[in-house]
Amino acid sequence: MKPAISNIESELLDKCSGLGISMVGFSPVERWENPPEELPQHFSNWIPREFWPQSIYPEAQTVVVIGLPVQLPIVETAPSIYYHELYETVNILLDEKAYEIANFLTLKGYPSIPLPRDGYGDIEVLLEKPLTFFSHKHAAYLAGLGSFGLNNILLTPEWGPRVRFTSIFTTLRLEGTPIPGDDLCTRCLSCAENCPVRAIESAYSDKGTSEGETGSATDFPPLINKISCATRSRKLRREYRSPCGICIKVCPVGEDRKLFERENTTMYTQRDGFEKYHQAWDHVRSYGSKKNNFQMI
């Protein structure tokens, strides 16, 4: 006999807590077809139907989204072997925890399946087709966990863009997590100005697209240049210091900045007054990869 939904939801949250999962959100699959009005951003070009969870697993009723943070002081060394190793570790943990949650729900009588965190074999694949079969950041967005930044990454109140997500499709029907509706992006342009390959659009308009006032007033953010971003990632991967991470570390959003005492983001572009940090980053970047990388950002 299946436990009552109210009980299983409580047990599921307890399970996530026991697994050390920092962020959890629920999104009914209907939110892909009818995005809630409370969402802080709406897009004239929405996710195609074949990417919806109910198209991938027709029995799906709810998407459970889980997130784990990447610690800011490690991200600050990026690109580096240190951030590379953290990135890989968090991905493995997400896959393991998603597998455990899916099994937990299945054994409770609600068949469920985990999704892989990345869903692509190699960066070369993304250069040919810069999409995966499911978007975890959009799932997190629809689960009320944050809003999109100019860098096209989901921003969260707790960790800014420094969170990795994955998803579980379940036949358990759960009430969706309330959507706060807050647009967290400050439009500071720091991500765009510091992008080494200028992949992030800075000449945007909140009233339309940069190609003329033809887009929706809420079509924010504009799409980044995925090919330029992936090309840089390929280069860094060959040097054992991918991913890039620069747009993630310079973003001012997130309570983690206060926690780690990193509220002044000029530390990334100015060495004066922040010498001890730059010396630490230079040291880390000097080892473990094919290229010594002394840089301001």
pLDDT band at 207 (very low <50, low <70, confident <90, very high): very low
| Chain Cα centroid distance, residue 41 | 16
Residue 226 to residues 152, 163, 198: CA-CA distances in angstroms?
10, 20, 11
pLDDT for residue 203 = 77
| Average pLDDT for the chain | 92
pLDDT digits (tens, 9 = 90+) for 144-190: 999 999 999 999 999 999 999 999 999 999 999 999 999 999 999 99
Could you tell me which residues are beta bridge partners of residue 67?
23, 165
Question: Is the pLDDT confidence value at 128 over 50?
Answer: yes
Q: Do the Cβ atoms of 130 and 227 come closer than 8 Å?
A: yes
User: Residue 164 contacts by C-beta under 8 Å, 6 or more apart in sequence?
Assistant: 67, 68, 69, 70, 87, 90, 91, 94, 117
Query: pLDDT-derived band of residue 218, with 50, 70 and 90 as boundaries?
Result: low
Pairwise CA distance, residues 137 & 117, whole Å? 11
In this predicted structure, the answer to whether residue 205 has a pLDDT above a threshold of 70 is no
pLDDT given for residue 219 in this prediction: 79
- Percent of the chain with pLDDT strictly greater than 90: 81
Round to whole Å and give the CA distance between 88 and 158: 21
Helix (H), strand (E) counts: the chain: 12, 6
pLDDT of residue 95: 98
Q: Output the pLDDT for position 121.
A: 84
pLDDT digits 0-9 by tens, 52-80:
999 999 999 999 999 999 999 999 999 99
3-state secondary structure of 21: coil
The pLDDT assigned to 296 comes to: 61
DSSP 3-state of 150: coil
Residue 143 has pLDDT above 60, yes or no: yes
Contact (CB, 8 A) for 32 and 105: no
